[in-house]
Amino acid sequence: MQKKRFKISKYDLLKGYFFLFGFPKDGFVSIDVTNKCNLRCKHCYFFEQDVEEHELKADEWYEKLLEMKRKKTIPFLQCTWVGGEPLLRKDLIEKGRKLFKYNTIVTNGSFPIPDWKDNVNFYISIDGDEERHDLVRNKQGLYQKIKKTITESPVPVTVAFCINNLNHHSVEKCFHEWRNHPNVKNFCFDFYTPIETLSDDLAMSWELRDSLVDRLSRLKEQYPDFLAIDLEVLELMRSDRCRKVTDDCVFARQASAFDPSGIRKAKCMLGDKADCDRCGCVVPFYMYSLTHKPTVIKNTLRKWFVKPFRKKAPLKEPVYP
């Protein structure tokens, strides 16, 4: 047990690199592959942006990326392919992904997963159990469709649950439902980020968000490999700590998000109307946890000496309204 605690993994080495040298400028990019989608979800930030109708053709995108590579504008480490629905333009991702060391494709699960085994992770978005998911996604039968997509996928996938005010009751239920699926390698969560022009019905109170951090921390302690969010990242998402991260967002400062016409967005993939103060996207919290030196030192010492992050309040069972 003691031995395992001090074992150094590849991920630890990467963390060491980020600690020493910081997060490489544009080491993380996101590309909106298309401005089209087969769905219209209640929480969609994408269609709230002032996105141009025009989208670059696949070969125009490829040329643009090649030009960036020639000029060394970005280091081509990690690219997240989003949208719209990115699998509507497989041709672009098929070519573009080969330029990056790592790729993540975030899809709504309506379309078959391509057989791309190297350097790609597929994230399938869900918004609660079957009833809540189909309600938030405005599409009856989608949850069952996703199950079929995942079962038939040629590669194991990650299921990504965006928690909001309508679906937070089903966090544990969903987690356990997918935990035993042979084609789901792990599970992750985001909190819904309020968007200026969308109704606030989906936004959660701070109290609720903190209680969810407690619930997710317990799942992490029980299923450390299957839940793919570190405890220190969850801690940063608490109401009394999150502003430290979002007031100077590492994503906005060090990463880049491109819209479908190839233009850099002002701050991040969520667009200008995202409420940074209530940001629930896990990415800036991850980036902070890997690069903010006092936080890294504190978390490392805490891990080595196995100290809990904080005394947890007794959990109340979530109840469906």
Quick check: 58 binds ligand SF4 (CB under 6 A)? no
Alpha helices in 107-222 (DSSP H): 130-136, 142-152, 171-179, 206-222
The three-class DSSP label of residue 105 is strand
Quick check: 88 binds ligand SF4 (CB under 6 A)? no
* Cα dihedral: 228, 232, 235, 240 (round 10): -140
Which CB, 41 or 166, lies closer to ligand SF4?
41
Options 170, 246, 289, 295; binder of ligand SF4; rule CB under 6 A = 246
Options 74, 81, 85, 129; binder of ligand SF4; rule CB under 6 A = 85
Quick check: 84 binds ligand SF4 (CB under 6 A)? yes
Phi, psi of 259 (to 5 degrees): -85, 175
User: CB under 6 A: which stretch of 143-151, 153-161, 206-214, 271-279 binds ligand SF4?
Assistant: 271-279
Q: How many of the chain's residues bind ligand SF4 (CB under 6 A)?
A: 23
Is there a contact between 243 and 273 (Cβ–Cβ < 8 Å)? no
Quick check: 86 binds ligand SF4 (CB under 6 A)? no
DSSP characters over 232-258: HHHHHTSTTTHHHHHTT-HHHHH-EEE
Report the side by side order of strands in the sheet with 28-32.
184-191, 157-163, 120-126, 102-107, 78-82, 28-32, 256-258
Quick check: 39 binds ligand SF4 (CB under 6 A)? yes
Options 216, 231, 249, 296; binder of ligand SF4; rule CB under 6 A = 249
In the complex, what is the shortest distance from the CB of residue 303 to ligand SF4, in angstroms, rounded to a whole number?
Answer: 26
Options 31, 33, 80, 83; binder of ligand SF4; rule CB under 6 A = 83
Identify the CA nearest to 253 among candidates 270, 266, 234, 242.
266
User: CB under 6 A: which stretch of 4-12, 174-182, 217-225, 248-256 binds ligand SF4?
Assistant: 248-256
Dihedral class, residue 233 (left if φ above 0, else alpha if ψ from -120 to 50, else beta): alpha
In the complex, what is the shortest distance from the CB of residue 3 to ligand SF4, in angstroms, rounded to a whole number?
Answer: 38
**Binding stretches for ligand SF4 (CB under 6 A):** 37, 39-41, 44, 46, 83-85, 108, 193, 246, 249, 251-252, 267-268, 270, 274, 276, 279, 281, 284
